[in-house]
Amino acid sequence: MRILVTGGAGFIGSHVVDAYLAAGHEVVVADDLSNGHRSNVHPGAEFYPLGLHSPNLSEVFRRRGFDIVNHHAAQVDVRRSVADPMADAAVNILGTIRLLELCRRHGARGFIFSSSGGAIYSEGAPIPSPEDAPARPLSPYGIAKLAGERYVDYYQSVHRVPGMILRYANVYGPRQDPNGEAGVVAIFCQRLLRGEAPIVYGDGEQTRDFVYVDDVTAANVRALELLGRPAPAQNGPAILNIGTGRETTVNALLRRLAPLVGGAPAPRQAPPRAGEQRRSAVNPARARLALGWAAAVPLTEGLGRTLDWFKKSL
């Protein structure tokens, strides 16, 4: 298949590109490099330095004729979305609509949308949260992702663009940027390897469901097969949680990382951050049934792999 991966120079998107190429697909990457890095793009992929609103993106669709569009380009920082909701919506809502319109106009046969299990479910939802748990996001980022899901549903139901929604837990691993404000594993790795005190926001007892990036890419590969199966449009797109189903506190995460670097300075405490949930973990049971998928990399092993990558890159 010929697949377009938006955000394919970013952390998760670049791993998805690698996996699709390894599976024998032809891959095109569109990324404006506002967050991604050209060095992340596999040399076997065709690369266009374009954002979602670029007028040249429609020409790429016209010339290349994609079978599948895998949409990973996004504004991913919760705090930035709180500070500037309009900028977040311009990328995460309007950018998604534009991409779906291009899929409709140019006959794409499937659309995979990377959504957020960590930001969509409401505070007080069952833990781990199933896909039908109440959705009441606490941040503009989560609101935008939920709106994107609704547009994927609309374009499948009305315009017959088959869709699939993958709600990620907290993804970590090699290539995650430690210099932004998202990605606690990457931030901790960088600070610990530099001998700097990690910063813990609030009391550190907030929980997250940490899933290794290779497991996430495996779900994206398996999603291609499910997306190719005929399904009644009125059923809506498949919505699948991609996570481990297990909670880990930020403090426990730090305790696991510290011995892997030979110890760590005492953490610095900082005020809690606006827009972030207290508890978060997603129930992956539906993905097991639909995709035959389950997270395979234990947290300690994934943290070790991630630290090894940071040791080489810092």
Question: Which are the catalytic amino acids?
Answer: 141
Strand ranges (E), 89-245:
110-116, 163-168, 170-172, 199-201, 207-208, 210-212, 238-242
Give the Cα separation of 221 and 5 in Å (integer): 12
The token pair that represents 232 in the structure block: 């009644």
d(C-alpha 25, C-alpha 1), whole Å = 5
Residues ≥6 apart with Cβ < 8 Å to 10: 31, 35, 36, 40, 72, 73
Both tokens of 152, joined, read 């994927």
Helices (H) and strands (E) in the chain, counts: 12, 13
Token pair 């508890």 in the structure block, residue: 279
In the chain, the largest separation of any two C-alpha atoms, in whole Å, equals 56
Cα separation, 52 vs 193, in Å, equals 35
Sign of CA dihedral 1, 215, 131, 138: negative
The DSSP line for 237-288 is -EEEEES-S--EEHHHHHHHHHHHTT--PPPEEEPPPTT--S---B--HHHH
> What burial class does residue 220 get, using C-beta atoms within 10 Å of its C-beta: 0-12 exposed, 13-18 middle, 19+ buried?
buried
**In this structure, are strands 248-249 and 207-208 parallel, antiparallel, or unpaired?**
antiparallel
Tokens representing residue 53 in the block: 């609103």
